[in-house]
């Protein structure tokens, strides 16, 4: 039986780890400490799995796991961390928009363009201070397929892609939370919106030219995530019941 040892290893993985390996995604809500067995299971993947079809995308150890650890460190033990991860990529029909023709000049014969929207990570965490943090990362991929005739009369087809990472972070404060305007504005590439009410809401979003490596993308996600926290006084609980 081919790949018997690796199939057996997959069966020993945590069920969510197994779902990422075989189905390339999952959506689930767990208490904070229930995520640690998932993280420990994922840490064994590269040592036990070598077959290409069962390898995890670099985004799992490079982005998903670090974000799980960062959020869990700011949660109460009974806090709920919800995760929806979709690592199937942007090529699926349900993620792809309509194609349309672009004007061209010879020697280009035709050019078609379309976009794909790939919301591959969504997180929601109930934080220790009573606030709720929601984070999403979506890849917007532009495709251009060009037909061109070269000087020898041969027609060649080439497809180019351009990726933009869209990061959005929303922090909803607890009732009665103290608010303090930051002393400096955010970086130009981060946009902040505020919604006032009994529970203040801060939304930070950024567009990142890509594709970025996992380490740089994680760093930029954390940079956007920090912005909503600059609106509350440091060292103080965000809610009355913290």
Residue-wise pLDDT for 186-226, tens only, equals 999 999 999 987 789 999 999 999 899 999 999 999 999 99
What pTM was estimated for this model as a whole? Answer: 0.89
Q: Within 13 Å, how many C-alpha atoms sit on residue 239's CB side? A: 17
What is d(CA 135, CA 113) in angstroms, rounded to the nearest whole number?
Answer: 29
Cα 223 to its chain centre, rounded Å, is 14
Nearest alpha carbon to residue 55 among 3, 92, 90:
3
pLDDT at 163: 97
The per-residue pLDDT of the chain, averaged, comes to 93
What is d(CA 167, CA 205) in angstroms, rounded to the nearest whole number?
Answer: 5
Indicate the helix (H) or strand (E) that contains 145.
strand 132-149
Q: Which residues contact 188 (CB under 8 A, 6 or more apart)?
A: none
User: Is the per-residue pLDDT at 239 higher than 50?
Assistant: no
Helix ranges, the chain (H): 4-12, 15-23, 36-43, 45-48, 59, 65-72, 214-226
Please give the average per-residue pLDDT across 62-66, as a whole number: 97
User: Is the per-residue pLDDT at 240 higher than 80?
Assistant: no
What is d(CA 177, CA 183) in angstroms, rounded to the nearest whole number?
Answer: 19
pLDDT at 233: 87
pLDDT at 91: 93
């Amino acid at each position: 039986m081919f790949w018997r040892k690796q199939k057996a290893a997959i069966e020993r993985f945590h069920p969510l780890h197994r779902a990422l390996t075989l189905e390339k995604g999952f959506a689930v809500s767990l208490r904070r400490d229930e995520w640690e067995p998932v993280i420990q299971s994922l840490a064994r993947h590269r040592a036990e799995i070598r077959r290409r079809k069962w390898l995890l995308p670099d985004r799992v150890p490079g982005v998903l796991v670090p974000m799980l650890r960062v959020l869990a460190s700011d949660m109460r033990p009974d806090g709920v961390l919800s995760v929806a991860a979709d690592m199937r990529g942007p090529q699926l029909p349900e993620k792809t928009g309509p194609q349309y023709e672009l004007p061209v000049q010879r020697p280009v014969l035709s050019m078609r363009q379309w976009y794909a929207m790939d919301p591959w990570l969504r997180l929601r965490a109930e934080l220790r201070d009573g606030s709720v943090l929601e984070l999403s990362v979506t890849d917007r991929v532009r495709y251009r397929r060009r037909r061109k005739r070269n000087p020898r009369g041969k027609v060649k087809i080439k497809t180019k892609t351009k990726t933009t990472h869209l990061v959005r972070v929303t922090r909803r404060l607890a009732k009665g939370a103290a608010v303090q305007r930051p002393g400096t504005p955010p970086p130009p590439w981060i946009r902040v919106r505020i919604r006032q009410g009994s529970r203040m809401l801060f939304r930070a979003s950024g567009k990142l030219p890509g594709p970025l490596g996992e380490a740089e993308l994680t760093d930029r996600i954390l940079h956007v995530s920090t912005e909503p926290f600059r609106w509350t006084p440091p060292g103080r609980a965000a809610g009355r019941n913290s």
